[in-house]
A and B are shown apart, each in its own frame.
Chain A
Amino acid sequence: MSHSTSMTEANAPVLRVRDLRVYYETPKGDVLAVDGVDLDLFEGEALGLVGESGCGKSTAAMGILQLVNPPGRIVGGSVELGGRDLLKLSEEEVRQIRWTRLALIPQGAMNSLNPTMRVASQIEDVIVAHEGAQRKEALRLRILELLRRVGLPERVYDLYPHELSGGMKQRVCIAMAIALNPRVIIADESTSALDVVVQRVVAQTIQRVRHDLGMAMIMIGHDMGLMAQMVDRIAVMYAGKVVEVAPVRALFATPRHPYAQLLIDSVPTLRERKPLRSSEGITHDPRNPPPGCIFQLRCPHVMDVCRSAAPQLKRVGPGQWAACHLYAEPAEEGGRHE
């Protein structure tokens, strides 16, 4: 909303994801949860990652964080953070980068805190792990300052997670995420488990913190209305692929990909928020996608070429990219997604 939607693409992105693939092994073959995702996150911007449940948006986030649990595995691609490919680093190197440069506000804060540790210790251990042991009193003041920043009272310091409400837990997670002032934060459905009023408060907290500290953020969610108010650009995912990337206003005004159009149609107005609803869900077997475009089975504009050739992301407007055969290849920008 307040940030410029026309982040110049000439800037080098802080986070650059190319052809990320995460597959889940099942007895009947691999599920292609994330199948060649490209994303750029620029300094200080908020990028929304939306799509219906099961489209692979959370898996993509876990792939970026190198936290894919078996039976899932990262099959290929690159995740460059500040010019270093996380996939090529050793486990210890990744560990040191985590949280100092790349933090997570997890999905469902209900269960994201260790039930047997006090709030303070859970924030403290991340500081000590990356900065080494420090004076107790200095740590305490720092943690209290973090709590204050996310609008939590001092008494939370000594409480256990079960003594907090859902919204308070979520704010503890936000305080934790900003503890080391990372350049990138991934917020994975961080408001979806909360009721509407609390959701708004938490969303405001995230916005305020982002303004104060200026980190870049990937926000994952399926609430298009909430997204519209919080992010600068939106990437739409369908069946493991990014089908459209666009500035918020452009996406809502002129969605280009047929799936993005379907998504926007399901949001009545910008002001009225309502969860994403789509009538069908992903229709093909995720283990065995059809050749060509992944959206062909549901697409109202399906053509012959869609059944044989997979469309690449193409520039369809200022800062707007869509992967669809409906749009002709523009000559001047073709090199971006080789």
Chain B
Amino acid sequence: MGSTLDTSGLATPRAASLPRRMGRFNRWDTPWLNPKLLAGVALLLVILLSGLLGRFFWDTDLAFSGKAPLNLPPVGFVNTRGQAGTWEHPLGTENSGRDMLALMIVGAPNSFLVGVVAAGVGMTVGVILGFSAGFIGGRVDDVIRLLSDVTVTIPSLMVLIVIQSLMRQVDLTTMALLIAVFAWPTPTRLIRAQVLSMRASGYVHMARLSGASTWAIMFREILPNLTPYIFASFIGNATGAILAAVGLETLGLGPQRVPTLGGTIYFAINAAALLRNMWWWWGLPTLMLALIFIGLLLINLGFDEIANPRLRRSSQ
């Protein structure tokens, strides 16, 4: 670039011919437009929206037993009794007459609900505890760190199995809250570590020297810088919560009155759908859950690359 302006001819001519890469001045060139993050968000949005909007186009009452003919295959397939699928129940039905399409429309948002509630509660508790541990330090830090280190190693599903088998009918929110009991240690550890490293860095010290109160420092200086970590850990928590919910539902310990994807798999396994080759019965909820988890994974990977540019580079 520089050498094109030379008029004296004294500059070394080599500079012009060197393989030098010039900038791409693109205003879309921000790390937040990470392809993995966008793909994950898009996938989840499609699933969520088709669940929410599907209610206006499809009768969700069909998700309850006895509303439709039994054991129909999806359109274009024939079941073991020779019945062909019909457009009245495009994704087929199961053995107590629930319509698979309606189950999907109701079930998928329910999974989101559990994930959001559990992750939200776990996150809030985690941020508060993590902040307290990192900022107050001392005895408070010792106790919080010990509790989160210990809780994180407990196989939470085992505890949830005992609790849910003891309790009367659980609804979705109760299940989500119970899962949240085990969702706080990871964000707590993460936020604590970040607060500690930020406390050690200069600008918090500067804020303190300039007379800002502890709370002002926490909310004006530290919290905004933690947003990416909080968001990433929310996604991780939501994944864990949906995973736990699916586990409980599949064991038959989920909510009994609302259709869930895991609950559908439970009924399918109990009715030996595998051996009866009713693949749509277990296959559709499995596929739907798989898509949700793939979406969450993509978001997580995208966040990783945004937070750690070195990962981005080596993935190219």
Contact = CB atoms under 8 A, between A and B. Distances in A.
Contacts of A287: 23
A281 interface: no
A259 B255 CA distance: 76
A305 B23 contact: no
In this complex, the member of A26, A288, A289, A309 whose beta carbon has the largest number of chain B beta carbons within 10 angstroms is A309
Interface string A15-42: 0000101010111111010001000000
A96 to B, nearest CB: 28
Interface residues of B, number: 22
Contacts of B6: 291, 308-309
Interface stretch (A69-77, A80-88, A99-107, A187-195): A69-77
B24 A27 contact: yes
A30 B5 CA distance: 19
B8 A308 contact: yes
B22 interface: yes
Interface range on chain A (Cβ under 8 Å from partner): 20 to 34
Nearest to A27: B29
Interface in B1-22: 1-3, 5-8, 10-12, 14-15, 18-22
Interface string A312-324: 1000000000000
B305 to A, nearest CB: 14
A310 interface: yes
A141 B5 CA distance: 63
Contact of B21 (A25, A76, A290): A25
Contact of A310 (B12, B21, B24, B313): B12
B25 interface: yes
B22 A29 contact: yes
A257 B52 CA distance: 72
B21 to A, nearest CB: 5
Contacts of B15: 36
A71 B313 CA distance: 8
A146 B12 CA distance: 47
A189 to B, nearest CB: 22
A337 to B, nearest CB: 10
Interface in A284-302: 287-292
Interface of A: 19, 21, 23, 25-30, 32, 36, 70-71, 75-76, 287-292, 305, 308-310, 312
Interface of B: 1-3, 5-8, 10-12, 14-15, 18-25, 29, 313
Closest 6 CB pairs of A and B: A29-B23, A309-B10, A291-B2, A28-B23, A309-B8, A291-B5
